[in-house]
Amino acid sequence: MASRRSLGSRRWAGLTALVFVTAGSAFAHDVRGTLTGADALSPAPRTTPTRWRGSFWEVPNGALAITSPRANVERDLAVVLTGSSVEQSRQPVTVSVEGGRCRPGTVLLSPGTTLTLDNQDLLAHEFYAVRTGQEERVVPAEVTAVRTRRQVSLPAAGTYELRDARQPSFRCWLVAGAGQGRVLPPDRTGAFVATGLEDGSYTVKAYFEGVERASAEVAVAGRETTVTLAIGAASAPASAPVSAPATPAEAEEQRHHRRRDH
Amino acid sequence: MLFSRFWMVLLVLVAGASVAAMTMARKTYDHDRASDVAVMVDSDRRMVEEFLRRDARTRLDDLGPLASDTSLVSLMVTATRRTSDTPAAIGPAISTRLRELNLGLGPLRGEVLFAVDPRGLIVGRVGLQENEVGQFVGGLPLVERAIAGNVRDDLWEISGTAYRMAARPVISDGRYYVGAVVHGLAIQPRFVETVAQLIPGASVIFFGVGQTYGGFTPVPERGGVAAPPIGSLADPLRTLGQRSEWTTRGAVSFDLPEQGGRVAYAALPGSVGAGIAVGRGLPSMPPDFLLRASKDDVGRVPFAAILSAVAGLILAGFALFYWEYDSKRKRLIAAMRELQSGPANRVDPLLLDGFARDVAVAANEGIDEVVKREIGRSGGKLRSVNDLESLLSNAGEVPGSAADARLPLNEADEQRQWREVFEQFVARRRECGEAVDDVTWDRFSSTLQKSRAEVVSRARSRSALFTVVVKDGRAAVKAAPLG
């Protein structure tokens, strides 16, 4: 008898949980978005020390025109969603460093948050941090070997540059301030998605090199919502029709044509 | 006096200058060699840099055929047009083709070789972490610039080993960039030795931040200067950043006093903060360098000129000494000064010759005349030789009366004078500690008579004047013509 009662209570408990999950799913919605105009972004040239030389030779190939540096959408841009039901960035924030970049290129975090730099690069780095536009090191230089981590903490709100004493070309920006939300990593076409959002108002922002380049208000109300973040132009209204994205290969082909024309 | 002394001073100066010149020559030699080595080390450093520059160009050029291989380009086009995020499907095919092409590079076969798609992802890999694809490297300056169309080199450090990297873009149909190939050669001991052979006799190290990638110290040739060991080149790396030349120019050179060497450091272009150091030993002249002189060295010494100079100096010394001491004029002046200062009352003509003797005889005659006149005027009271000084001092007052003053008036007077001389002689001998027992008046007067006769006949004088002198610590009687 006891075992029958126990089996029955388990069935009730499972049924109750199923009902709650179904109900929750009915109120959670996704926001899908697209970044446009990112191809127009060019990385700002970096100031290199006087004696620093990156190579003996850097010459054009002689057959095809050199392409100008372009922003890498999936790595250099950061999309952040903020809103009443979005959790703030968690402690510690871990940033992957690979290929001479951190991903995302702009890291958003709250002041005092511990930032873990995970060096997944081929080469060792010697990171230090300065406030944008200043040269005083707020985080001292220290070698971070390949496949090791280093934890740093930013003292106050503001925009910082994470630099590499060995490679002046290294790029990474840190934005410390209140109200940082959920990071939505874009893919190479600029598409991003936020899942499991409750109904309400949200804000989506795009950052490049530590600067907010686009933002849009999103109202989630009972269905999937789309948004287009147009960099360099006014943001498209929420729930606007989603333009059919090109396949990755097509997008790459288009980029090649642009480079060639350039 | 002055010139002969000057000559002695000159001799001392010459001797001192010779010793000083010998010492200074060693220092000058060492200093000049140190300057030469400083120039040489800087030249070595530039030569190594130029070699590495040319080496980079060679690697970039040799990578050209690989980057334009049609099979590889075709595979890269496929990788670029893939729809998946990861290149796992095409990766093995690209890696295989890269392996085949790498073998064809011969001595430039890369220890690291990979292909990167336009997004900066590795799509094929040979060597280090072989076949691992999908890693993003597009932000590294070498790859980023190669994807953009540049031919570029770099220096990487992977797992403690430095790699000379080179990258070229991969171009499809002459119209599209479809990625890049990246090639790397490790800085192995053999490569370091090859570099060191460019600058024989010098040590070389390749260094990075906090470590040395490789080094070579040559074995010194027989009698050659030993180059500083690798460790002594690596030691100053810790404090290199404190040198302003290093921070501003990326190159600095300085002495290593403890190792007796000179070293030059130069930063190498690249992403790891690497550099090279070259060092040479400072040669110094050994203390026994004269013993090491060869026949040729000895043959090059201008002995004729040196001997001529020495002979000239000796002759000049003799001439100065003769002029100042031995000439007739100087001897006469000395005799006159002796007469003036005493104790002699006459000039001894036997010590002089030529015109000086004539002058001495004339002077003696003058003195005698003064004495004679003085005696005559004094009525014979002044008859002693010991009165000569008073006579001579009054010579000016009694002109023409002292010429025969010291001439004995008669034999008894002469005997009396000789007796005084005898007594003075005995007294001087006692003073000088000589025996006086065998000195008798008879023998003494007999000797004086003979001596007077010789003087009279030789100097054609009327008599002889005897005085007692002490010479070389012994009493002696000196005879001089009189009258």
Give one DSSP letter per residue of A176-232, joined into a string.
E-TT--EE----TTSEEEEEEEPSEEEEEEEEETTEEEEEEEEEE-SS-EEEEEETT
User: Which of A66, A100, A171 lies at the smallest CB-CB distance from B149?
Assistant: A66
Cβ of B150 within 8 Å of Cβ of A61? The answer is yes
Q: How many residues in chain B?
A: 483
> Residues near B150 by Cβ (< 8 Å), separated by ≥ 6?
A58, A59, A60, A61, A66, B169
- How much helix, strand and coil, in percent to the nearest 5, is found in chain A? 20, 40, 40
Cα distance between residue B100 and residue B104, in whole Å? 7
What's domain A88-178's architecture?
A: Sandwich (2.60)
What is the pLDDT at residue B434?
87
Crossing angle of helices B2-67 and B189-197, rounded to 10°: 130
User: CB–CB of A230/A206 below 8 Å?
Assistant: no
What is the pLDDT at residue A233?
52
Evaluate the omega torsion of the peptide bond into residue B343 and state whether it is cis, within 30 degrees of 0.
yes
What is the per-residue burial (b if ≥16 Cβ within 10 Å, else e) of B250-274?
bbbbeebeebbbbbbbbbbbbbbbb
Sheet holding A101-109, edge to edge: A137-144, A125-131, A158-164, A171-176, A101-109, A93-98, A114-119, A149-153
Cα distance between residue B129 and residue B133, in whole Å? 9
Can you tell me the mean pLDDT for A87-91? 61
* Full pLDDT tens readout for chain B, 483 residues: 556 677 778 888 888 998 888 888 888 888 888 889 999 999 999 999 999 999 999 999 999 999 999 999 999 999 999 888 788 889 999 999 999 999 999 999 999 999 999 999 999 999 988 888 999 999 899 999 999 999 999 999 988 899 999 999 999 999 999 999 999 999 999 999 999 999 999 999 999 988 899 999 998 877 678 899 999 999 999 898 899 989 888 899 999 888 889 999 999 998 888 999 999 998 887 777 778 788 888 888 889 998 998 888 888 888 887 887 778 888 888 888 888 777 677 788 777 888 888 888 888 888 888 888 877 776 666 555 555 555 454 444 444 444 455 666 678 888 888 888 998 898 888 888 888 888 888 889 889 988 888 888 888 888 888 888 888 888 888 888 887
**Chains A–B, number of C-beta pairs less than 8 Å apart:** 163
Q: Rg (Cα) of chain B, in Å, rounded?
A: 52
Chain A nearest-CA residue for B112? A122
User: CB–CB of B457/B481 below 8 Å?
Assistant: no
Question: pLDDT digit string (tens) for A138-181?
Answer: 999 999 988 999 999 887 889 999 999 888 888 899 998 876 78
Mutation site, B52, B136, B137, interface A, largest A CB count within 10 A: B136
- Cα dihedral B305, B306, B307, B308, rounded to 10, equals 50
User: CB–CB of B188/B213 below 8 Å?
Assistant: no
In this structure, the strands spanning A93-98 and A101-109 are antiparallel
HSE value, Cβ hemisphere, 13 Å, CA-based, for B311: 6
HSE value, Cβ hemisphere, 13 Å, CA-based, for B240: 28
Q: Where in chain A is the domain with CATH 2.60.40.1120?
A: 27-43+65-87+181-262
- Output phi, psi for B279, to 5 deg: -140, 145
pLDDT of A58 above 90: yes
Cα distance between residue A140 and residue A127, in whole Å? 8
What is the pLDDT at residue A23?
41
Cβ of A69 within 8 Å of Cβ of B148? The answer is yes
pLDDT of A218 above 50: yes
Chain A residues whose CB is inside 8 A of the B139 CB are 72, 75, 98-101, 169-171
Closest to B41 in 3D by CA, of B226, B202, B216? B202
User: CB–CB of A172/A180 below 8 Å?
Assistant: no
Cα distance between residue A115 and residue A150, in whole Å? 8
Q: Residue A118 carries which DSSP code?
A: E
- Cβ atoms < 10 Å from Cβ of B374: 26
Reading the block at residue B480, the tokens are: 């001089």
Chain A residues whose CB is inside 8 A of the B177 CB are 64, 67, 256, 259
pLDDT of A246 above 50: no
User: CB–CB of B269/B259 below 8 Å?
Assistant: no
Cβ of B150 within 8 Å of Cβ of A58? The answer is yes
Cα distance between residue B467 and residue B483, in whole Å? 16
User: CB–CB of A147/B158 below 8 Å?
Assistant: no
Cβ of B154 within 8 Å of Cβ of A166? The answer is no
DSSP assignment string, B188-242: -HHHHHHHHHTSTT-EEEEEETTEEEEEE-PPPPTT-PPPPPHHHHHGGGGGGGG
Reading the block at residue A219, the tokens are: 């109202």
Residues 104-163 of B with CB under 8 A from A: 118-120, 135-145, 148-154, 156-159
Cβ of A252 within 8 Å of Cβ of B169? The answer is no
Cα distance between residue A135 and residue A163, in whole Å? 11
What is the pLDDT at residue A221?
87
User: Which of A52, A58, A122 lies at the smallest CB-CB distance from B145?
Assistant: A58
User: CB–CB of B466/B451 below 8 Å?
Assistant: yes
Chain B residues whose CB is inside 8 A of the A51 CB are 247-250, 267
Q: Tell me which H or E stretch contains A35.
A: strand A29-36
Can you tell me the mean pLDDT for A205-226? 91
B166 min Cα distance to partner chain A (Å): 9
What is the pLDDT at residue B84?
82
Q: Where in chain A is the domain with CATH 2.60.40.420?
A: 88-178
Mutation site, A61, A118, A170, interface B, largest B CB count within 10 A: A61
What is the pLDDT at residue B280?
94
Q: Tell me which H or E stretch contains B185.
A: strand B176-186
User: CB of B273 within 8 Å of any CB in chain A?
Assistant: yes
Chain A nearest-CA residue for B210? A143
In this structure, the strands spanning A114-119 and A93-98 are parallel
Choose which CATH entry (3.30.420.40, 3.40.50.300, 1.10.357.10, 2.60.40.1120) describes domain A27-43+65-87+181-262: 2.60.40.1120
Cβ of B144 within 8 Å of Cβ of A75? The answer is no
What is the pLDDT at residue B65?
95
Reading the block at residue A260, the tokens are: 């060639």
Say whether the ipTM exceeds 0.90: no
What is the pLDDT at residue B134?
92
Cβ of B271 within 8 Å of Cβ of A146? The answer is no
Cβ of A56 within 8 Å of Cβ of B57? The answer is yes
Q: Which runs of E-coded beta strand occur in B29-175?
A: 112-116, 122-127, 150-158, 161-172
Chain B residues whose CB is inside 8 A of the A170 CB are 139
Our separate counts of H helices and E strands in chain B read: 14, 13
What is the maximal distance between C-alpha atoms in chain A? 87
Cβ of B176 within 8 Å of Cβ of A256? The answer is yes
Give the SS3 label for residue B256. strand
Cα distance between residue A249 and residue B82, in whole Å? 6
pTM listed for this prediction: 0.67
Reading the block at residue B332, the tokens are: 């006469």
What is the pLDDT at residue B387?
56
Reading the block at residue B448, the tokens are: 């004086």
Chain B residues whose CB is inside 8 A of the A71 CB are none
DSSP assignment string, A71-95: --HHHHEEEEEEETTSPPPPSSEEE
Is the sign of the CA dihedral B257, B263, B266, B272 positive or negative? negative
CA B150 to chain centre: 56
Is B453 exposed, middle or buried (CB count within 10 Å of its CB: 0-12, 13-18, 19+)? exposed
Residues 228-247 of B with CB under 8 A from A: 247
Q: Give chain B's domains with CATH numbers.
A: 2-186 (3.30.450.20), 189-281 (3.30.450.20), 339-482 (no CATH)
Is the sign of the CA dihedral B358, B361, B366, B367 positive or negative? positive
